[in-house]
Amino acid sequence: MMSTRTATATAFPAPHAQSPARPKNLVRLPRLRRIAAPLLFLAAWQAAVALGLIGARLMPPPSAIAESFWHLAISNQLLPSLLVSLARVTVGLAIGVAAGTALGLVTGLSRLGEDLLDPTLQMLRTLPHLALIPLMILWFGIGEVPKIVLIALGAAFPIYLNLYAAIRGADRKLFEVAATIGLSFPETVAHLILPASLPGFLVGLRQALGVAWITLVVAEQINASAGIGYLIMNAREFLETDIIFVGLCLYAVLGLATDYAVRLLETRLLAWRPSTLGALGRRA
């Protein structure tokens, strides 16, 4: 609905309806509409608690959650927890992505690598990595190592599977072009295989991020002395429901932020795709 309205408003000056010269108030109006529903929900929640429809003890109102968020922030408990959790995900993800990429490249680019590794990896991926927690604790204790290993394991497989499939799914017709214009194998990798598999890799990266956050949540709840999970577990002990909600909000914000980062990466790296071109508004 909104797009029709903006289109008619700008139809006169130019056929490029997506041009950056679009009036500002027309951009803001749809945004306002989008956040209207969450705001209404929060207001209803607040009202329900105030009217006594919901018990404040198990379901604290948004205002109380905001308040305890503020208390935690100024008493310097929030940022350290956030950083600890972020560090776990970052390190685990980095290792997982590196491993998944290396495996995907080896199996994607060489038949030998495929025969040697792919069956084993396809078998391993069916094993839910969270089931390894008891083993991880026995092997690595209860420090940072088992958490990071678990996150890395969870993140590696989506990367591997998507990259491998993307490399193998690259357009055969373009390989014929590469042959007729005399590209060497390294050139074919650089100009054809890697760019062709980048969209698949980024899909894998997004999935890996999702898995990494879930793994973090689970791993942090088992035994932790720092991090968002620790904050939540601690709050449970003392029935501080508001702090549990603060922790949940942090997880949500972190998840959103990283997803946004990948999307930003996509628009940068996949600038050649028509969908991206449309989003950037530059049909050169």
Partner 1 sequence: MNAAPPVPAAQVIGLTRSFGGPPVLDRLSLSLRRGEFAALLGRSGTGKSTLLRTLAGLDPAPAGSVRVPAARAVVFQEPRLFPWRRVWHNIALGLRFADARSRALAALAEVGLSHRAQAWPLTLSGGEAQRAAVARALVRQPELLLLDEPFGALDALTRLRMQTLLLRLWQNHRPAVLLVTHDVDEALLLADRVLVLENGRIALDRPVTLPRPRHPAHPDHARLREHLLASLGAGQSDREQS
Contact residues toward partner 1 (CB under 8 A) are 173-174, 176-183, 187, 191-192, 195-196, 198, 270-274, 277, 283-284
Q: How far is the CB of 208 from partner 1 (least distance, A)?
A: 22
Residue among 52 and 186 whose Cβ is closer to partner 1: 186
Residue among 262 and 277 whose Cβ is closer to partner 1: 277
Q: How far is the CB of 271 from partner 1 (least distance, A)?
A: 7
Q: How far is the CB of 177 from partner 1 (least distance, A)?
A: 5
Q: Which of 137, 155, 6, 139 is nearest to 89 (CA)?
A: 155
* 78 touches 202 (CB < 8 A): no
Q: Give CA 232 to chain center in angstroms.
A: 22
Residue among 15 and 274 whose Cβ is closer to partner 1: 274
Match 């994607």 to its residue by tokens.
Answer: 108
Residue 228's CB: how many other CB atoms inside 10 A?
Answer: 25
Q: How far is the CB of 180 from partner 1 (least distance, A)?
A: 5
Measured in residues, the chain has a length of 284
Tell me 11's DSSP state.
T
Residue among 174 and 233 whose Cβ is closer to partner 1: 174
Tell me 193's DSSP state.
I
* 250 touches 80 (CB < 8 A): no
Structure tokens that stand for 197 in this block: 């598999």
Match 């792919």 to its residue by tokens.
Answer: 118
Q: How far is the CB of 284 from partner 1 (least distance, A)?
A: 5
Residue among 86 and 192 whose Cβ is closer to partner 1: 192
